[in-house]
Every structure is written in structure tokens, then in C-alpha cells.
A and B are shown apart, each in its own frame.
Chain A
Amino acid sequence: MKQFAALYRELDTTTSSLAKQAALQRYLKEAAPADAAWAVYFLAGGKPRQLVPASLLRLLAQQAAGLPEWLFDESYEAVGDLAETISLLLPPPTESHEMGLAEWIEAHLLPLRKTPPELLADTLRAQWRRLAVEERLVYFKLITGGFRVGVSRLQVTQALAAVGALDAKRVAQRLMGYTHIAGQPSAADYAALIAPESHGELDQKTSGEPYPFFLAHPFNQQLASFDALLGTPAQWIVEWKWDGIRAQLVKRAGQVWLWSRGEELVTDRFPELATLGEALPDGTVVDGEIVVWRDDKVQPFAELQRRIGRKTLGAKLLREIPVVLLAYDLLEWQGRDLRALPQQERRALLDDLVASAAHPTLIASPMLHGTDWQDLARQREQARAMGVEGMMLKQRDASYGVGRTKEAGVWWKWKIDPLSVDAVLVYAQRGHGRRASLYSDYTFAVWDAPPEAPERKLVPFAKAYSGLTDAEMARVDAVIRKTTIESFGPVRSVKPTLVFELGFEGIARSGRHKSGIAVRFPRMLRWREDKPVEEADSLQTLAALLPA
């Protein structure tokens, strides 16, 4: 545990990725395999089920710190992170321990879930008495499940690959499913991550593992430079950029697995796609986008969210919000890994598969054609009306890479410009983590009537917290503090003085919002210091942006 806490601290305090990589490799080489197994689990994004209800943890920590509830809460608001708050507030330890990470987790942390509530308080207090001050943060991060330490899964993959002298792609495949919520990685599991490649591994006939997803890069160049940068459109497969859930449908040995890009197994969430998988031959892996599809048309992402949010899927919901897989790549066919094949060959095989499967929930993402980039740019203007985010450009002769690699060829996302309005900042809330104690999360409003209307009011319609530089945010923070009208806990209402251009990807009518309008991915495009509040946009401007 001490070693892991030291690693966490090292990763947390440095901004250099070289230093992080060195620290990771050093830890993996030195740690006991059972400890390394858990370290990889957490660093790669694994999260066990909630061990202790957060409210109970807060209560016990507050009592152990000997503070009234309000003062604990004030501290939490200043820190912005529960694990860190508790770490700072507990009294010094009175005992010590020599347990490693695995022992802590397996013998002490995971059993907390099954500990009867009446024993939980004593058990936790006994643990806290033994924890060294520098181990606390990691311990509470493990308990609260908010384990983020500024290393990406890719960095962990690379460190493992270096330690095991393996190809990072192999490690990435082995890591698939490793961070499952119910995962209990052992020393053997860790050994398997860095073991020499086996025959069974090369023959994936029975494995449910998906391939690491190949990810696209944004392409924001001027149209005039497309020919110089990309060559002619004939060298590219062009498709719409769908706004859904990226997924791989894996069918092997009579079984179906549907994996989301977050490496979450989502087969149960989409029974109609599980049925589709059953209809496919063994040794097939399709890459595509899960979207809600009705009347031969993709539906807004908000509809998909209604599906994701439900614990149980009734027949009615499945009927009202039907999904399909818009397939755009074939990664495995007849048990053969196709990723090294050129994009266009994979695509041809995919088209054959879709045609022969003739299944209602499997649709090939249509390929778009244009005489030149100008032509495609004209077609792209329909994107918003079609409910898509823009276009995807995929090199015809590219193989399927891993993550954001570019060596094997590249996928570009050529997105349409966001919709935008000028809105007024009306509420501000403190941020979390790096932005704790800075007012960084804002609520924006537009006028409820055009400028000529008497007594018009500002109506909140969107929240945004990204898009400003640190320096801008510090200035906005200062203005917020000066123009505060009222504080409600971590939130302040402010005098309307600040106008921002807000960009968003989609807009829809909503009965759940006071403004009657919901926007998707709102963010600050720029601070309109030149614009008086009276000139901010109105609900009428927003309504005009609604799709017909």
C-alpha cells in the first residue's frame, strides 16, 4: 500500500509523461504481482462496485474528525473532492501496518460491501487508525471509486508492454475486460497480462474480447487545403459521422458480446443487437455505431440516453426506442483478424455480410461520394438536418489501428461547426479537482423575449464548464466574486454582466427544461467582452435553430 501510495503521489505531482511512464514501469517491476494486478486495475480505469455508501462515509469521517456536519461540508466544498477532504481531516494514525495493496483490497476493502451496517463504523475506524497519512488519499480514492490520477489507459498499456517486452496492441487486447466492475485481478491475471504470447491468444476462436477501438482525429482545415493535405476524395471512404454509441459486436463460439468504446459490456442493454449477433456466423466482429433508428432516420442522442438510463427494458420502451447497429467496419470474419487488410477490402467484406445477413438491426453506414471536396462540403451542409455530426474520412488503403495511432492510416472526423448563441452567465459553481475553489461551472441564460419587449427576463437554458483558458477563467472567477448576488452552498447567483458565445452540437425541444429547450454538448466558444447583456440572444433565437 505504501508503494502504491508513493506511485499515486508521483503520478499526481508530475506533469511530464516521461516521468509518469518511468514511475509506472518502476512500480510494476518492483511491486509484488498481486499488488501490481490491482494497481493496473485501478490505473487503467477499473472501479469496483460502491463499497460504502458515500453518505455513511461522510458521516463517519466527520465524526472521526470531530467536526460538526456544516464544517465538514464547508471543507468539502473548498477541497472539491471527498477522498481528499477526509484525508486532510482525520486525526493522525495511532497504529501502523505492513499490508500491501492486494491485501488491503481483498481482505479489508472489498469485504466492506458485505459488512453489516452496524459493524461498518467500527471496521472503518479500525482501518483509519492504521493508515499512514500519506496512504489516506489513495485509500479513500479506492473506497469512493473516484480514482483518477492523470495517467491514461494507453500509458498503463505502454508501461505493461515495456515491462513484458510485448507489443502494446497485444497488451491492449489482454486489458479488454480486465477493468470490469466485478473484476478481482490476481497475481496470475497480472502475470497473464505481461506473459509471452500464447498460441491460444493468436487463435481467438473462443474469446469474447473485442479489438481495441481505432479512434478518429479531428480535422479542422480550410477546404482549400484539402487536396494538398488529403489528395482526392477517391482515396478516401467518406461516411456520415453518427452521433451514437461506438460499439463492437463480437460473435464467437455461439456467443455474443457487445462492447462499448468504454470497454463496457453492454449486451444486456441492447437485446435487439444480441439477437442480431446470434444470427451472425461464428468468428465475426463488426465495428459500428449504436443509434436509435425510426422512420429510416437516425434519432437524436437524447433518445438513446433514455435507453441507457433504464435499469429494466420493457417491451414498450424497446418498441418506442428501437436501436440498430450502423456498421462501418469488419474486424474479424470467419475467425480471421482482418485489421491489417486495407479499409476498402474490409468494407467490401462488410457490405457482403450486411447483405447476406439481411437483418433489420444491421445497417451498413452509407458511403458518400463526391466529385471533389467542394462537392462533399456541399453535401455536408445537410448534416444538421440529418441529425449527424459531420463526416468521417477513412483512408482507403489504411489498416485498422489501435486507439489514436496514426501509423497504420488515419480516420478523420470532419465535423460541422457548432450551433451558437450569445448567452448571459447567471449562476456559477465551484469546480472540482484542479478547479476546486475556482468558480468554473456556469449556468447560462437567454432573454425570454426580443429586445423591444418590455420587462423581459433571463431564462437559464444551459450549463457549461469548458472552453476558457486558465487565465480567462481566473478573470471570470474574479468578476463572479465581485458581482455575487447570493450564495447557495457552492453556487452563486451573479449580476448579469458576462456574455459568452456558447456553442452546442444539437438542439431539441424539452419538457424537462424551464426554457423548453435542451442543447447537447454546450461549451464556451469565446467570452464576448464586447457585448452588453442587452444584446445577448433570446429564446426566439434559440427556437429558430430547432430542426423543422
Chain B
Amino acid sequence: MPRPRSRSYHVQLPMKAAPPSRLAESGDLIVARPEGLYCPPGDFYIDPWRPVERAVITHAHSDHARIGHGHYLAQEGSEGILRTRLGEITLQTLPYGEAIEHRGVRLSLHPAGHVLGSAQVRLEHAGRVWVASGDYKTEPDGTCAPFEPVPCDTFITESTFGLPIYRWPTQAALFTEIDDWWRGNAAQGRASVLFCYAFGKAQRILHGVDASIGPIVVHGAVEPLDAVYRAAGVELPPTLRVTDPGVDAAVLKRALVLAPPSAQGTPWMRRFGNYSDAFASGWMQLRGTRRRRGVDRGFVMSDHADWPGLQQAIAGTGAERVFVTHGSVAVLVRWLREAGLDAQGFKTEYGDEDSDSAAAAPAAATPVEAGAADRAE
């Protein structure tokens, strides 16, 4: 296979935000500051990565909800996880769609379809409407409020999977694949170990699989998050822990086991004997990343929008101006510009510009503590 030649078309687009001063003067509702995305008239930040006085949190994944802010505002579904994770914080919550006023800025939160409590942030001030998406997924999955397009003038979108090679299978096709794999293993007397992030993805799998195939065992990092989902009224099948009485080799042989990626290759896995393993992630779309993961199967499952989802979401807002953050920023900016939109990149610290390698890195390189184990892709 010949390597791609370097080509002259490859123009790097400006990816850094312009200096805050200029943007602030221009009256933008959200600007990029070293601390994070900032709303000048409201004097607060959205998902800041450095400690600030006021932070609006789109969702409770650890790269968006960080420790050390003075005041937190989040969707009410996030409360349980934020408090578990961040401890003593000053937290105010809002239901979806309910607006509050802060220093003349009207703020409301709207479903992002990413994980429980994930929200898009709508800001209205002086006749302008801006929406910051946080992370989002457009296909409903039954474990969180489905994504809603929010009309706005300016939309800030993520771009984790901002290439047309990323097109997700439907929920139905995905779960047929997972069920078939589990059923096949159970028939051969092998445990089915499915590595997935503990917050969001694990619950989505629990909600979607055919629980009649066999028992379901969850890792200790998954269990507390299941409890939060159940408390929020999300229907999850009964699950076991390996330490539960009656969970013996015979049970494990037929079981579906959900564990965070950090469990791969640890002594915890030994109890499952000759198991089949799999990894659930949008990055599994590519053979290279699938093989690099070193698991038997890769299921293409993401809590981010795929390429068609990004297009649909952006078009659905009717926005004429689009800021693109973490992911394939340059690609999506160029694509939107060619479609006639006023698009530019925002530099954020939610992930590397090419965060694919971070997600695809060998399990050994993944931090082991529970907080990082359920990190979003």
C-alpha cells in the first residue's frame, strides 16, 4: 500500500482562538480564556479546566467537571455523580428547559443525549442566543434525555468524531452484535468481558442488552454509577458483583462482565479464566485501533455524535456562526466554511486535537483510579 504523499492542499486553519480582548470587545457571548470558555457579560465559565469562581458544568465526565471552582451550576441529573466525585461543592441545579437570569444573561440547560444529566448551555443576552453543546450524541439511547436541537445564532460544537469515516450503527444493530457475541460465548462456556467507560457507556449497555442471555457482572467502578442511574429512574437489569455470594465459576462462564478499560490486564481479570474480551468505543470503527486494543472484538459504540450526527445537530440549530472545539477542529471548520457558515476553532483542554491516540493507547497507559477510569472518550 503506497503511503499518502504529502500534498499541497493541506492548509492548516487557524485553530487558536483570537486574543480574548478582541473577542470581548466584539461582544461575543462566549470567548476562550486560559481558564476555559468564558461568558463576559455573565462573568462565568463553562466547563473550565482551571479553578474559577463560577462554573456551569455541561456533564459530569471528569475532563468537563473539575475540582476547585467556587460555585457550580449543572443539570439536576448530574447532581449525584458530581457530589460523589467532587465532594463538598457549592452546587445549584436546574431542570432541563428552566431559565435563570444572571447579570442580565438568561441561561437554560437542554438535553445533550451524552450521559445522564448532560446538557447544552443556552445563553441569551441583548437579543443574541448562543448555545454551547458540551459533548453530545444525537441518537436516543434510553438512558438519558435525548438530544434536542436548540435554535441559536452561534453554536459551539464538539468534534470528537469529526470525520466522515465515523458513522455509527443503529442502536438495534449494535445490540444485536453484542448479544450475539455474548450468546456465542455463553454457549461455549466462556465469560464475555466488555470493557467500557464506567459512567454512561456501561449503563447504556446494561439498558440495551438482552438480559435473558445470562447473568451480568459489573466491576466495582461501575456499580456506584449504576446506582445513580437507577435512582434517576433509568431501567437497568439486575447486576452482580464478583464478591456476591453464589457468584462462582459456573455463573461467570455464562456472564457478561462490564469493566472499565483500566481493568484490562489486571489481576482482577484472572477469575474469568478463558474469557473473550471486547471493547466498546467509537474508535473501534477503525481496524487499526481495534487491533491495537488487543481485544477479541471491538464494538462501535460512542456517546458522541458521529459525522452525520454532527451535521444534523449543527444544521438543526440554524446557527450561522459555529465554533468548533475538541476533536477534528480543523476538518470540521473547513467543512462548515465550505458550506457557507462562519466557522472557527476554539482551543480547549478537553482532549488533544487528535484525541484518538489517547483513547487508543494501550490499557497499561490508562490511569487506574476510578475517577479517570470512566473518562469519556
User: CB distance B4 to A490 under 8 Å?
Assistant: yes
User: CB distance B296 to A68 under 8 Å?
Assistant: no
B335 within 8 A of partner (CB): yes
B315 within 8 A of partner (CB): no
Partner of B1, one of A14, A146, A478: A146
B243 within 8 A of partner (CB): no
A491: chain B residues at CB < 8 Å are 6
User: Per-residue 0/1 for A470-510: is the Cβ within 8 Å of any B Cβ (1 yes, 0 no)?
Assistant: 11001101100100000111110000000000000000000
User: CB distance B4 to A434 under 8 Å?
Assistant: no
A392 within 8 A of partner (CB): no
CB-CB under 8 A for A433 and B288, given A65-B164, A470-B362: yes
User: Per-residue 0/1 for B1-31: is the Cβ within 8 Å of any A Cβ (1 yes, 0 no)?
Assistant: 1111111011010000000000000000000
CA of A88 to CA of B167, assembled, Å? 8
| Minimal Cβ-Cβ distance residue in B for A429 | B3
CA of A439 to CA of B360, assembled, Å? 12
Closest CB of chain B to A49's CB: distance in Å? 15
User: CB distance B288 to A71 under 8 Å?
Assistant: no
User: Per-residue 0/1 for A56-82: is the Cβ within 8 Å of any B Cβ (1 yes, 0 no)?
Assistant: 000000000101111101111111111
CA of A78 to CA of B358, assembled, Å? 14
CA of A287 to CA of B358, assembled, Å? 49
A1 within 8 A of partner (CB): no
A125: chain B residues at CB < 8 Å are none
User: CB distance B357 to A481 under 8 Å?
Assistant: yes
CB-CB under 8 A for A474 and B365, given A54-B2, A68-B338: yes
Interface of B is mostly: loop
Q: How many A-B residue pairs have CB under 8 A?
A: 115
CA of A169 to CA of B335, assembled, Å? 56
CA of A73 to CA of B3, assembled, Å? 11
CA of A77 to CA of B286, assembled, Å? 12
CB-CB under 8 A for A75 and B4, given A84-B286, A474-B361, A489-B10: no
Q: How many residues of chain B have a CB within 8 Å of chain A?
A: 42
User: Per-residue 0/1 for B271-304: is the Cβ within 8 Å of any A Cβ (1 yes, 0 no)?
Assistant: 0000000000000011111111010111000000
B174 within 8 A of partner (CB): no
CA of A70 to CA of B328, assembled, Å? 14
User: CB distance A81 to B288 under 8 Å?
Assistant: yes
Which among A54, A89, A436 has the highest number of chain B CB atoms within 10 Å? A436
User: CB distance A437 to B362 under 8 Å?
Assistant: no
A129 within 8 A of partner (CB): no
Binding site for B on A (CB under 8 A): 12-15, 54, 65, 67-71, 73-82, 84-85, 88-89, 144, 146, 429, 431-439, 470-471, 474-475, 477-478, 481, 487-491
Q: Enumerate 25 A-B pairs (CB-CB under 8 Å) in ascending A order.
A: A14-B296, A67-B164, A71-B164, A71-B334, A73-B4, A73-B9, A74-B331, A75-B163, A78-B286, A81-B287, A82-B1, A84-B287, A85-B165, A434-B292, A436-B288, A437-B286, A437-B354, A437-B360, A438-B292, A471-B362, A474-B365, A477-B357, A478-B361, A481-B352, A488-B6
